[in-house]
Structure 1
């Protein structure tokens, strides 16, 4: 109730308390970064999230926000609680680390602020470091263009009630509105911090996205559209719209600030980081966008000799060393490399390849593949987004020799909406030139992985349409990965 009337004694005096502030939890709640004893809880206070100034209708002051965690949805017993300050400088975003939790356990959480209670979210902790834990079910997805369709796949992800969700980039798209699309972006192409905050506000008001966040903890890494299409490191692939060097640097900085504000990332953490799931799995979250060299030959699909240059890197040398060091630790039965762009070789009959993907950084790919082989990594699995279609690929010691050893597996999720409804075809493009590419689907959706010590069941899940609301989801194809036997 916004206000209450109290009748005091027999005097009939009426007291009308001040009206409560407008409902601030319009963007829902989220959790992420599960550890054995804690998890990150997120919300942002924004009663008017589409305001052009990017502050969501909030006043300029800071606001205290209470959070609480319970073992049940009724919140009969609180197991962890605290207060955090939502700061005006951070667009009143909240990142609370809820500690004191049991390992490998499910919890519910909520927030209170300005006289209101948030929706309830479901989350969970990781198993203890030495514990294999239960079977793990995680979903992974990418590329949710608001304009390209409805977020039905997010709704279906919420209904899975998985243990964990990975988002591999392109959480938002930066462009202005385009005629003929299912929905339209608000405002022109985003350039400033206020623009990015407003765009996140538009995306996060979507009820299907809110449901997916509230259903499970997330691990996230950004890609290009979270900043600008096809940028590389500190370089732009083009200059549209025209920006000076200082304007581009400011845009890039604003994009990453807004990303951190709106996702359930651990405060102060790097975007490339490692998350352990007991003795069962290790997630190596990679950043293939911020530290890469510029794309070879200045374009996307090329036959380009420069792509073979030994010094080129898509991760940067520091991240590459960090990855190989982490793989050598063999902390889990399965090592998942969660990253953004197509990893396996994919060439046309004329030798053209995607210079924005690992094919444009072949020495980098070779060093990492050889690195995990030399370190005896038993089950390396690359998880990929970006490409707007689903794939399952064998990773080869020598892609020019189909008979060479299979040294790993790549699973590529399709997009949430980008590319529109798609088609029913599962014919692998360029199959004759790439016999290691084993599966393809052009439907929108996500991928589900059920992880046990001896095997991983992989289900490619798709919806038939995103141009209308409410399409059902179905499994298009399933595969089993077996311990110690790399490949599909």
Structure 2
């Protein structure tokens, strides 16, 4: 079950930080207050309700979505945008629109279970978040919206089994990293046709880069030039709102949202590449960056099927949360961006040392880490699944004893990883699964008790999904495959095509099917399964299916 919102993460405990680090923290606290004021609601005249006749164009251009299902509830989402590539969606800067919604057990809506009316407000970019409650557990539903004479596309969703109920199987999709100008979202068209219970999207839903009028490799998307509003990096609330409109205009993304409920979390590009907490990659002043982060977080919430309890307050947004799937799985969704310490050694692939190995460093923040470990201790699920952003397992660049690792991933925060693994061990967790993204390649890795000792016990498995489009076509076999395997003997699969992963959980095993496309720089690519791996329950470690 998702946890209630709570105050910001408390300061890290342990020895006093270095003077410069303390100074940056104090600056960050001051800047946070500034950013909060930046996004606070300004008193204004009451929003005028729009008459139905004023909606002369279809407002449902960005499709529909559902998310964060529970046994008796699910969030339904849409956003009114008759002109999605214009600031304000082509609607008044102040106003509200009444939107009717309904959810049914049949696709023809002959047996409507729930219906109601909500308001889309200009303050939140005319987005709609309906938390429909009182539903039956483990059931498929269809839903749609209506305003004036316009009816939205129909979406399909499903609730989860009751907590603790006996569940035989679950199938989920793992996806991430969809850069609009680097490829078509064809993989999502295939994902929409999969038989899934849910999709887990683990970051980089949008990218902040400037996009030219030709839409990069898309070459005039839909036969039209993109307007100049996309030709600069996203910085303001309007910029981020428009970037979501661009991505959500894609029909394959709309199809995948309409087909399955989604659980989402962000990575870095929803704000800025490789940002860390209140620190921008480019070293921008903390107060300026937190204003940008506040804008990005607000646009993220507006465009995702999330509950109102996730709605941000200035630059702060509680996104980590917990869900159960009967007695089969517990999902602890993490946020490894908002609360982390700055990357060691200026980021990038660097040799580890005293700075990165500092035992007080954290990629999750103390409060989230404690929440995760407490959840593992109380879990009664067969599988404990942790969907999050970045590669969890060690990834060494060479076979040498002292090799470079990514300072942006968990390798740059080994004390954080050790504490999580110790918590899982102390809790008696035997079926730990980490779902990750970010890397634009597929990895399947055994989680080792000691990554520097290949013979140490395997304590879980990690599945790193490749990108949907970021990095364009990718390659069939990366040239460094042998070197990567030699440097990382716990690595069981490595590929660099675009695609997604289908994960099947049963009481006896986990199966990961790595779906891949031969290209994404033009539409219509077929999909195939590169490989299938299995990890037996109680005996962690990947083997070929």
User: TM-score scaled to structure 2, two decimals?
Assistant: 0.84
C-alpha offsets along residues 142-162 of structure 1, whole Å, 9 cap, x if unaligned? 000001100000111001141
Q: Indicate how the Cα distance of structure 1 residues 147 and 330 shifts in structure 2: closer, same or farther if over 3 A, else same.
A: same
Given that 1:21 and 1:114 are in contact with CA atoms closer than 8 Å, whether structure 2 keeps it comes out as no
Match of 2:323 among 272, 275, 283: 275
Match of 1:61 among 95, 101, 107: 95
Matched, 1:43 2:97: no
Q: Distance in 1 between matches of 2:54 and 2:216?
A: 40
Matched, 1:189 2:238: no
Match of 2:445 among 393, 401, 415: 393
How many angstroms does 1:19 deviate by? 7.4
Given that 2:53 and 2:148 are in contact with CA atoms closer than 8 Å, whether structure 1 keeps it comes out as no
1:433 aligned partner: 487
How many angstroms does 1:31 deviate by? 0.1
- The alignment of Structure 1 onto Structure 2 pairs a total of residues equal to 467
How many angstroms does 1:180 deviate by? 9.1
Q: Indicate how the Cα distance of structure 1 residues 33 and 78 shifts in structure 2: closer, same or farther if over 3 A, else same.
A: same
Q: Distance in 1 between matches of 2:247 and 2:375?
A: 34
2:344 aligned partner: 296
Q: Indicate how the Cα distance of structure 1 residues 397 and 258 shifts in structure 2: closer, same or farther if over 3 A, else same.
A: same
Query: Please, which moves more after superposition, 196-205 or 181-190?
Result: 181-190
Alignment of 1:415-430 (within 5 A): 415-425=467-477, 427=481, 429-430=483-484
Match of 1:310 among 359, 365, 368: 359
Q: Distance in 2 between matches of 1:18 and 1:456?
A: 53
Match of 2:61 among 26, 31, 38: 26
Matched, 1:341 2:390: yes
How many angstroms does 1:81 deviate by? 1.1
Alignment of 1:41-190 (within 5 A): 41-51=76-86, 53=87, 55-59=88-92, 60-177=94-211, 181-183=216-218, 186-190=230-234
Q: Distance in 2 between matches of 1:246 and 1:18?
A: 43
How many angstroms does 1:429 deviate by? 4.5
Given that 2:168 and 2:507 are in contact with CA atoms closer than 8 Å, whether structure 1 keeps it comes out as no
Q: Distance in 1 between matches of 2:298 and 2:483?
A: 38
Q: Distance in 1 between matches of 2:215 and 2:91?
A: 34
Given that 1:21 and 1:115 are in contact with CA atoms closer than 8 Å, whether structure 2 keeps it comes out as no
1:285 aligned partner: 333
Given that 1:428 and 1:439 are in contact with CA atoms closer than 8 Å, whether structure 2 keeps it comes out as no
How many angstroms does 1:330 deviate by? 1.9
How many angstroms does 1:132 deviate by? 2.4
How many angstroms does 1:236 deviate by? 1.2
How many angstroms does 1:18 deviate by? 5.5
2:298 aligned partner: 257
Q: Distance in 2 between matches of 1:132 and 1:247?
A: 50
Query: Please, which moves more after superposition, 212-221 or 267-276?
Result: 267-276
Q: Distance in 2 between matches of 1:82 and 1:483?
A: 44
Q: Distance in 2 between matches of 1:92 and 1:181?
A: 29
Match of 2:405 among 329, 342, 353: 353
1:10 aligned partner: none
How many angstroms does 1:181 deviate by? 3.2
C-alpha offsets along residues 162-181 of structure 1, whole Å, 9 cap, x if unaligned? 11000000000001026893
Q: Which runs of 5+ in 1 are unaligned?
A: 1-16
Q: Distance in 1 between matches of 2:54 and 2:70?
A: 40
Q: Distance in 2 between matches of 1:372 and 1:429?
A: 31
Matched, 1:238 2:282: yes
Given that 1:104 and 1:133 are in contact with CA atoms closer than 8 Å, whether structure 2 keeps it comes out as no
Q: Indicate how the Cα distance of structure 1 residues 20 and 367 shifts in structure 2: closer, same or farther if over 3 A, else same.
A: closer
How many angstroms does 1:20 deviate by? 5.1
SS in 2 for 1:97: strand
Q: Distance in 1 between matches of 2:75 and 2:385?
A: 21
Going by fraction, where is helix more abundant, 1 or 2?
A: 2
Given that 1:42 and 1:95 are in contact with CA atoms closer than 8 Å, whether structure 2 keeps it comes out as yes
Match of 1:327 among 373, 376, 380: 376
Runs of 4+ in 1 over 6 A off after TM superposition: none
SS in 2 for 1:199: helix
Q: Distance in 2 between matches of 1:352 and 1:217?
A: 39
Q: Distance in 1 between matches of 2:261 and 2:421?
A: 30
Q: Which runs of 5+ in 2 are unaligned?
A: 1-51, 220-225, 311-317
Q: Distance in 1 between matches of 2:166 and 2:465?
A: 26
Q: Distance in 2 between matches of 1:50 and 1:134?
A: 45
